[in-house]
């Protein structure tokens, strides 16, 4: 396994994920900091609305490089390739072919939720680091199978959930755990935006 500045690449991925508490909208390994001559090679699976957003971030960073893109819907696949920022990125319509690509070190899973379990387990068995979008899966049983695959293969895995990882949420949880708010018996949460929505109200799930 290659190293970055003397640091094992798997250790590098693990260290960046450890900083995920500051994550807002993108995988932790995309926030790796200083540029590197040997960026993490990433494959994106699912290039729809959220997947396309994530590809744009990966393509704009110096710490990671999009080397492969996968989607079953050709217009989305084409758009994903254009956002990759790498003219040499490969395109796949079957995620299993992407996982078999030896150039791919980490994958971003941004497919519909019901595909997450199968793709994540296959990615873990292929030894790839994984960033998986929320929601993770549809059942506790499936979540346990996914957890087992991650542990068995000793891969780095991060669940993307910017609401939970937003600094205000992290600080609030810390205050509760430290007892600064006293006994907490009721919690009400919400999300607010101070600018006009860029989508019709019925499309807003905030």
For 114-151, the DSSP string reads GGHHHHHHHHHHTT-EEEEESS--S-HHHHHHHHHHHH
Q: What is the pTM of this model?
A: 0.71
Task: For the chain, list the domains and their CATH numbers.
Answer: 3-165 (3.40.50.720)
Give pLDDT tens digits for 105-135. 999 999 999 999 999 999 999 999 999 998 8
Q: Which residues contact 74 (CB under 8 A, 6 or more apart)?
A: 93
Give pLDDT tens digits for 26-45. 555 555 555 567 889 999 99
């Amino acid at each position: 396994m290659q190293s970055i500045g003397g640091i094992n690449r798997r250790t590098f991925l693990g260290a960046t994920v450890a900083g995920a508490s500051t994550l807002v909208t993108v995988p932790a390994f995309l926030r790796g900091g200083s540029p590197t001559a040997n960026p993490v090679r990433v494959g994106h699976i699912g290039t729809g609305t959220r997947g396309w957003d994530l590809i744009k971030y990966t393509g704009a960073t110096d710490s990671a490089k999009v080397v492969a893109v996968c989607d079953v819907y050709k217009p989305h696949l084409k758009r994903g390739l254009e956002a990759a920022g790498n003219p040499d990125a490969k395109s796949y319509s079957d995620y299993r072919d992407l996982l078999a690509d030896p150039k791919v070190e980490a994958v971003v899973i941004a497919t519909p939720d019901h595909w997450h379990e199968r793709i994540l387990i296959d990615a873990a068995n292929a030894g790839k680091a994984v960033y998986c979008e929320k929601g993770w899966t549809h059942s506790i049983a499936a979540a346990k199978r996914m957890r087992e695959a991650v542990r068995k293969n000793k891969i780095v895995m991060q669940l993307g959930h910017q609401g939970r990882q937003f600094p205000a949420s992290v600080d609030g949880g810390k205050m509760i755990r430290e007892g600064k708010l006293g006994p907490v018996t009721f919690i009400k949460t919400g999300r607010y935006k101070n600018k006009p929505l860029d989508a019709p109200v019925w499309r807003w799930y905030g």
